[in-house]
A and B are shown apart, each in its own frame.
Chain A
Amino acid sequence: MSAETHALLSIDQHLALTQTLYREARLLDEERFADWLDLLADDVHYRMPLTARRFRADRSAALAGGAGYVFDDDKGRLGLRVQRLESGLVWAEDPRNRVRRIVSNVEIYRAQTDGEATVHSVIEVHRSRMDAQQRRLTAARTDLWRLEGGGWRLVRRLIGFDHPVVIDSNLNVFF
Chain B
Amino acid sequence: MTDYAGLVSAAGAMQRRQMYADPAVYEQELERIFGRCWLFLVHESQIPQPGDFFRTFMGEDDVLVVRQKDRSIKAFLNTCTHRGNRLCRADRGNAKAFACNYHGWAFGTDGALVNVPLEKDAYFSEIDKSRFGLVEVDQVASYKGLVFGCFDRNAPSLADYLGDMKWYLDVWLDAQPGGSALIGETQKVELMTNWKLPVENVCGDGYHLGWAHAGAMKAVQSMDFSGFTVGNASVELEGGLSIAGLNGHSVLATVDGVSGYSFYPDNAGILRYLEQNRPTAIERLGRLRGEKLWGSQLNLTVFPNLQFLPGLNWLRVYHPKGPGRIEQWTWAMVENAMPADIKQRILDNQLLTFGPAGLFDNDDGDNLAACTEQSRGWRTRQLDVHTNMAQGRSGARPGLPGDIAVGVVSEHNQRYFYRRWQEHMAAADWRAVPQYNLNSLQDAKDLAHVG
CB within 8 Å of B: which residues of A? 48, 50-55, 58-61, 63-72, 77, 80-81, 83-85, 87-92, 130, 164-172
What number of residue pairs across chains A and B have CB atoms under 8 A from each other?
148
Q: Once the chains bind, are B92 and A54 in contact (CB under 8 Å)?
A: yes
Tell me the complex Cα distance, A156–B408, Å.
Answer: 42
Would B91 and A52 count as touching, CB distance under 8 A? Answer: yes
**A169 pairs with B369, CB closer than 8 A:** yes
CA distance A130 to B219 in the complex (A): 25
B139 within 8 A of partner (CB): no
Cross-chain contact A164 with B91 (CB below 8 angstroms): yes
**Complex partner residue of B212 from A52, A77, A91, CB under 8 angstroms:** A91
Contact yes or no, A83 B218, CB < 8 A: yes
- CB of B359 within 8 A of CB of A169, answer no
Most buried by B among A64, A85, A165: A64
Do B362 and A68 have beta carbons less than 8 Å apart?
no
Q: Does B343 lie at the interface of the complex (its beta carbon under 8 Å from any beta carbon of A)?
A: yes
Q: Which residues of the partner chain A approach B90 to less than 8 Å between Cβ atoms?
A: 52-55, 58
Q: List 7 A-B contacts (CB under 8 A).
A: A53-B90, A54-B93, A58-B93, A58-B95, A81-B357, A83-B218, A85-B215
Residues on the A chain within 8 Å of B170, using CB: none
CA distance A53 to B185 in the complex (A): 10
Asked if B188 and A164 sit within 8 Å, CB to CB, the answer is yes
**Is the Cβ of A77 less than 8 Å from the Cβ of B352?**
yes
Q: How far is the CB of A45 from chain B (nearest CB, A)?
A: 13
**Contact B362 A87, beta carbon cutoff 8 Å:** no
B residues 165-180 near A (Cβ < 8 Å) are none
Q: Which listed segment binds A: B189-197, B276-284, B398-406? A: B189-197
- Distance in Å: Cβ of B56 to nearest Cβ of chain A: 12
Query: How far is B266's CA from A136's CA once the two chains are assembled, in angstroms?
Result: 36
Q: A52-B185, A170-B366 are in contact. Are A65 and B347 (CB under 8 A)?
A: yes
A48 surroundings in chain B (CB, below 8 A): 357
- A80-B219, A165-B190 known; A170-B361 Cβ under 8 A: yes
B residues sitting closer than 8 Å to A (CB atoms) are 45, 48-49, 52, 89-95, 181, 183-193, 212, 214-216, 218-220, 230-231, 327, 332, 334, 340, 343-344, 347-348, 351-352, 355-357, 359, 361-363, 365-370
Closest to B359 in A: A84
CA distance A48 to B220 in the complex (A): 22
How near does chain A come to B87, taking the closest CB pair, in angstroms? 12
Would you call B93 and A89 a contact (CB within 8 A)? no
A-B contact sample (16 more), CB < 8 A, given A55-B93, A65-B334, A81-B219:
A50-B186, A50-B187, A53-B90, A58-B90, A64-B183, A65-B183, A65-B184, A66-B184, A80-B219, A89-B231, A91-B366, A92-B365, A130-B370, A166-B189, A169-B368, A171-B362
Separation in Å of the B327 CB from the closest CB of chain A? 6
Given the complex of chains A and B, what is the CA–CA distance between A70 and B367 in angstroms? 22
Interface of B is mostly: mixed
Residues of B within 8 A of A88 (CB): 215
A63 to B95 CA separation, bound complex (whole angstroms): 16
Q: Which of B92, B95, B220, B365 contacts A169 (CB 8 A)?
A: B365
- If the complex has contacts A55-B90, A64-B343, A171-B356, are A84 and B219 also in contact, measured as CB distance less than 8 A? yes
Contacting pair B219 A68 (CB below 8 A) = no
Interface contact B185-A71, CB-CB below 8 Å: no
Assess whether B365 is in contact with A90, with CB atoms less than 8 Å apart: no
Contacts of B52 in A (CB 8 A): 60
List of A residues within 8 angstroms of B365 by Cβ: 92, 168-170
Give the residue name and chain of the A residue nearest to B344 (CB): A65
B357:A171 contact, CB within 8 angstroms? yes
In the complex, how many angstroms separate the beta carbon of B217 from the nearest chain A beta carbon?
8
A167 to B347, Cβ gap below 8 A?
A: no
Question: Which one, A60, A90, A167, A170, contacts B93 given CB within 8 A?
Answer: A60
Nearest CB of A to B189, in Å? 4
Interface centre among A52, A81, A84, A88 (most CB of B within 10 A): A84
Bound state CA distance, A55 and B366, in angstroms? 34
Closest to B189 in A: A166
Question: B325 → chain A, closest Cβ, in Å?
Answer: 11
Q: Which of A53, A68, A92, A169 contacts B184 (CB 8 A)?
A: A68
